[in-house]
Structure 1
């Protein structure tokens, strides 16, 4: 229905904005935020490193699982031999204490696990949350009540405790990264379902959705053509903020020993083994901790930038607060005064006249009241 309306807009009405124009506007707003651009570059670099991990380790000539016992001092408990944790031309960031495994290889392969688990879990959360939220908003009263209560139960569940319980009872033969992804994705979709339900209830009362329903469109077609485009902005915004949260959850589960198991590298797992080596081999603790910190901060800043770029109210404030003020300061606005650059509109004169009329009527009523008091006194 919205496509039909867009094909033949009435005279004097606003023509609907095409998707390409909306994407261009979003990119323009995002480019105006330097912090978001820097964060996007950092995230892109991390994703590129994770994807190119086999190539990078082949370039170094190492892999994340091979032991090098000759590179650690067994007399000192397995401390890496040499300065900076045994860093050399063969081992760019040094080696792991006790085992001698290459630290660079484990770090870049750990990026694959941490980012992969977080992104896959986010996709699962978004898919379930959107489906449940839309079904609750479009269903009858009983369906809405049932799905809303189920969502409340999911939201009230403590994520870490439920994940610990589920990961502890699953056999170790099940692939651990896949299991962590499923656990996080199947437990933490409640908040996005609530957001989608509230937004869908708002959208389904709009004219174009009602017109599509009167035209005989089915529910699936209405959702796909009319509702999902309106849900894109809040869903993308929330998903961008979910990714760093999921990275932290995966790292915490691996740190507690129920996440990714050795020999598969993970940043949280590396932190678990590094808690006793922060004095003898500080790089073993600082490298995965620094990688986690940079990743979470970059994703959080990027998510906030996406939220600002997709928020039409923020865009409106920027447009009104900077564009008109710039025109007024330059004295080039269509309604700017000759000296001050202050905007004047016809409403000001109307309001001034109304205020003057009100003041005149008030003064007349006061004079009449004083005359009545004088007559009563006489």
Structure 2
């Protein structure tokens, strides 16, 4: 028979040796639980999402093209063109061919990226700034502030984006990327306002807000430190998707002749100039239209991936 004292000593040693390991595992688990959050989980999902990676790569590429067009073409798209080269098909000298005025389609497509990216980013930035600020104030304070801001937002929300943009831009006359951005932002911020207001209303009565108020936190501290980080996720999703929508809106306005206008260059303008001669020279329309489609698709891919990452129901 085995000695009972020896067995007891071995059990004691085993328990003693196992205690630090169990404690370390508990501490490690607690540490993991502490760092877990919506944003960290979303970032981890985005790094593994091929749609987000491909979309981000395309967005980054188009951003570089818009900032440094001279890196991608040695031809100055704003220089006078030679009419003798009118509507030439793609060749070694002009890889995308030339347009009616003899201008290089590839060079103009590269330089046109700048106006489109400016409109998309500037419009989205203004829409987010106005929409988040007003929605946060309306949802948190409620009452008279909510009523005034909501009625004011409904005035602009009732105006269709494209129709309102056409009317305002036609009244302004000559347009450029910045005026188009301002007009689109004026008509687009109510959407962000309504989403932000609803998100704040859904979060303002949560336990962490009550606890922060009980600990003596002030109104602005609760609003900035607690309400906004938890309410802004759906706004970021809509903003990311809307960026591609605003680029499409700029191209549509330019196509109709009320957006970016000559001598500026825009994909919408190029498509408008090429439509009447599509059968004679289809390259004049296909290449700028393809550049526009790829850019809009890239931003929509990023927006969809961000939406999937920030929506726990889609996990």
Cα distance change of structure 1 residues 39 and 15 upon mapping to structure 2, 3 Å threshold: closer
Q: Distance in 2 between matches of 1:15 and 1:32?
A: 19
Question: Aligned with 2:76: secondary structure?
Answer: coil
Contact 1:254 1:266 in 2 (8 A): yes
Residue by residue, what CA displacement relative to the aligned partner does 1:298-319 show, whole Å, maximum 9, x if unpaired? 221221111111112222xxxx
Bigger relative contact order, structure 1 or 2 (CA pairs below 8 A, ≥6 apart): 2
CA distance in 2, matches of 1:246, 1:115: 9
* Deviations 1:246-265 (CA, angstroms, capped at 9, x unpaired): 01110010000000011111
Deviation at 1:204, TM superposition (A): 0.9
Corresponding position of 2:286: 286
Counterpart of 2:276 in 1: which secondary structure?
coil
Query: Residue by residue, what CA displacement relative to the aligned partner does 1:326-374 show, whole Å, maximum 9, x if unpaired?
Result: xxxxxxxxxxxxxxxxxxxxxxxxxxxxxxxxxxxxxxxxxxxxxxxxx
**Number of residue equivalences:** 287
SS across alignment from 1:79: coil
Which stretches in structure 2 are left out of the alignment for 5+ residues? 1-28
Cα distance in 1 for partners of 2:83, 2:187 equals: 45
Partners of 2:165 and 2:213 in 1: CA distance: 42
Q: Separation in 1 of the partners of 2:191 and 2:33? A: 31
Q: TM-score, normalised by structure 2?
A: 0.84
Checking the alignment, whether the CA contact within 8 Å between 1:67 and 1:100 is kept in structure 2 is: no
| Residue in 2 that maps onto 1:88 | 92
Structure having the higher helix fraction is 2
Q: Determine the C-alpha separation between the residues in 1 that align with 2:46 and 2:224.
A: 26
CA distance in 1, matches of 2:167, 2:205: 42
Match of 1:121 in 2: 123
Q: 1:163: how far off?
A: 1.2
Q: 1:65 aligns with which of 50, 70, 78?
A: 78
* Contact 2:136-2:228 at 8 Å conserved across structures: no
Tell me: CA distance 1:179–1:27, structure 2 relative to 1, closer, same or farther (3 Å): same
Q: Are the counterparts in 2 of residues 65 and 101 from structure 1 also a CA contact under 8 Å?
A: no
1:142 — aligned with what? 144
Residue equivalent to 2:272: 272
Instruction: Tell me how far 1:33 sits from its aligned partner.
Output: 2.6
